[in-house]
């Protein structure tokens, strides 16, 4: 019996990972207590995803456990022991703004929760491959110091810069930069995951992701760029564009493509790996471009408001250089571009809202 433990199993990335692993015949234990509802309100709840995963996958077991509960996490690893072949850690508090409201909870979930999980793996399943869903926010606002060119709908990296062709590599420094408290807690966890790989020899990897999206995202104003944008368009809500005149650029990766990348590492793991991961040059857009694309899908204009001041630490431009990962795992390739992602989100959200009515 091969077992995988997925934390945050009902969130966007966790659920996509559960679906992939379950389809491969692995018994999946999902750890998720719907803290997203606590963070962002009822509309961000992942309870619907828990019901779907339980109904669709007979080899999925759901555990309503808080990642900060050392005894409960340890008990799961004692239950399965060396049958655990993979641990995918997606549980997190994911918002800059929310972290500033309650730094103690943010750090406990993101950093201490990760340490609890790492120690459980070290003690009870040291042979397992461990994947950590990290973030490009570990680089803080350092990307904002790159040389940009302002264009009609977006900012773009100066074509003369060596990173212009492929995006930001892992060599970007994490030091002397404004991280936000969320970025600091995620960086703490990121370094811990690396250290348990390098110091203790565990097979660990940090995937430093840009924006992740897909129809399984319970998008909210504080987290979930494309999913929340589509929701506002479908429900005819106003959407607030915050800072940079909407020209800030994000790369986006579909959760299913990210889960496939996780699987590549699980099959052929290493110790203390770090990968920038995202849509790269193949899948990126500015807020303005995303709004235009969603308006084309719905066939009507969106109600927009503009706030001139950007969020603290918000990136003006981010595109991930994914070549390090693609060199290590050349058979991986993303299937979704921005248009396909938006279409998938729109179809999934429309179906969910129709079912709810």
In this structure, are residues 85 and 26 in contact, taking their beta carbons and an 8 Å threshold?
yes
Amino acid 1: pLDDT: 81
Amino acid 223: pLDDT: 74
Amino acid 96: pLDDT: 86
In this structure, are residues 209 and 133 in contact, taking their beta carbons and an 8 Å threshold?
yes
Amino acid 357: pLDDT: 65
Per-residue pLDDT of the chain (357 residues; tens, 9 = 90+): 899 999 999 999 999 999 999 999 999 999 999 999 999 899 889 999 999 999 999 999 999 999 999 999 999 999 999 999 999 999 999 998 899 999 999 999 999 999 999 999 999 999 999 999 999 999 999 999 999 999 999 999 999 999 999 999 999 999 999 999 999 999 999 999 999 999 999 999 999 999 999 988 777 776 778 999 999 999 999 999 999 999 999 999 999 999 999 999 999 999 999 999 999 999 999 999 999 999 999 999 999 999 999 988 889 999 999 999 999 999 999 999 999 999 999 999 888 776 666
Q: How far apart are CA 186 and CA 92, in angstroms?
A: 9
Query: CB-based contacts of 75: which residues, under 8 Å, 6+ apart?
Result: none
String of DSSP letters for 171-227? TS--SSS--HHHHHHHHHHHHHHHHHHHTT--EEEEEEESEEE-TT---BTTB-HHH
Torsion from C-alpha of 186, 320, 275, 137, nearest 10 degrees: -10
Amino acid 354: pLDDT: 66
Torsion from C-alpha of 233, 335, 89, 274, nearest 10 degrees: -120
User: Coil, strand or helix: which one is 57?
Assistant: coil
Q: How far apart are CA 245 and CA 55, in angstroms?
A: 44
Amino acid 224: pLDDT: 73
Q: How far is CA 355 from CA 12, 226, 319, in A?
A: 19, 21, 36
Sign of CA dihedral 67, 64, 11, 46: negative
Query: CB-based contacts of 53: which residues, under 8 Å, 6+ apart?
Result: 9, 10, 15, 18, 19, 30, 60, 62
In this structure, are residues 145 and 173 in contact, taking their beta carbons and an 8 Å threshold?
no
Q: How far apart are CA 307 and CA 314, in angstroms?
A: 13
Q: How far apart are CA 308 and CA 330, in angstroms?
A: 42
Domain count, the chain: 1
Distance of CA 24 to the CA centre of its chain: 22
Q: How far apart are CA 10 and CA 86, in angstroms?
A: 17
What are the strands, taking DSSP E only, across the chain? 3-7, 27-31, 60-63, 84-89, 129-135, 148-150, 155-157, 203-209, 211-213, 239-242, 249-254, 273-277, 284-286, 304-307, 317-318
Q: How far apart are CA 219 and CA 49, in angstroms?
A: 13
Amino acid 225: pLDDT: 87
Query: CB-based contacts of 357: which residues, under 8 Å, 6+ apart?
Result: none
Distance of CA 28 to the CA centre of its chain: 19
Domain that holds residue 349: 3-356
Query: CB-based contacts of 343: which residues, under 8 Å, 6+ apart?
Result: 297
This prediction's pTM: 0.96
The CATH number linked to 121 is 3.40.50.720
Q: At what angle do helices 180-198 and 113-124 cross, to 10 degrees?
A: 10
Q: 112-138 in b/e burial notation, b at 16+ Cβ within 10 A?
A: bbbebbbbbbbebbeebbbbbbbbbbb
Amino acid 324: pLDDT: 98
């Amino acid at each position: 019996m091969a077992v995988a433990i997925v934390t945050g199993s009902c969130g966007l990335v966790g659920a996509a990972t559960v679906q992939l692993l379950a389809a491969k015949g692995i018994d999946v234990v999902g750890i998720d207590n719907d803290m997203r509802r606590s963070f962002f309100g009822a509309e961000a709840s992942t309870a619907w995803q828990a019901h779907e995963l339980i109904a669709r996958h007979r080899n999925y077991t759901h555990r309503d456990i808080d990642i900060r509960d050392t005894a409960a996490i340890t008990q799961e690893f004692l239950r399965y022991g060396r049958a655990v072949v993979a641990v995918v850690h997606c549980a997190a508090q994911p918002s800059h703004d929310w972290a500033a409201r309650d730094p103690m909870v943010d750090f406990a979930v993101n950093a201490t929760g990760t340490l609890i999980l790492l120690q459980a793996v070290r003690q009870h399943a040291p042979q397992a491959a461990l994947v950590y869903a990290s973030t490009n926010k570990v680089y803080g606002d350092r990307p904002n110091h790159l040389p940009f060119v302002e264009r009609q709908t977006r900012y773009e990296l100066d074509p003369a810069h060596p990173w212009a062709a492929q995006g930001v590599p892992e060599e970007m420094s994490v030091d002397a930069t404004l991280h936000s408290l969320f970025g600091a807690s995620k960086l703490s966890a990121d370094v811990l995951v690396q250290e348990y790989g390098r110091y203790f020899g565990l097979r660990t990897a940090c995937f430093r992701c840009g924006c992740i999206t897909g129809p399984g995202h319970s998008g909210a104003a504080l987290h979930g760029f494309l999913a929340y944008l589509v929701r506002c368009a479908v429900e005819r809500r106003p959407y607030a564009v915050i800072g940079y005149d909407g020209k800030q650029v994000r790369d986006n990766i579909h959760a299913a493509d990210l889960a496939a990348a996780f699987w590549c590492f699980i099959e052929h793991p290493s110790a203390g790996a770090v990968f920038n991961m995202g849509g790269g040059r193949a899948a990126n857009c500015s807020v303005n471009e995303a709004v235009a694309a969603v308006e084309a899908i719905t066939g009507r204009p969106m109600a927009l408001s503009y706030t001139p001041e950007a969020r603290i630490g918000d990136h003006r431009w981010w595109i991930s250089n994914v070549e390090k990962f693609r060199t290590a795992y050349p058979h991986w390739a993303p299937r979704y571009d921005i248009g396909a992602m938006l279409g998938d989100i729109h179809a999934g959200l429309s179906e969910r809202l129709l079912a709810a009515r």
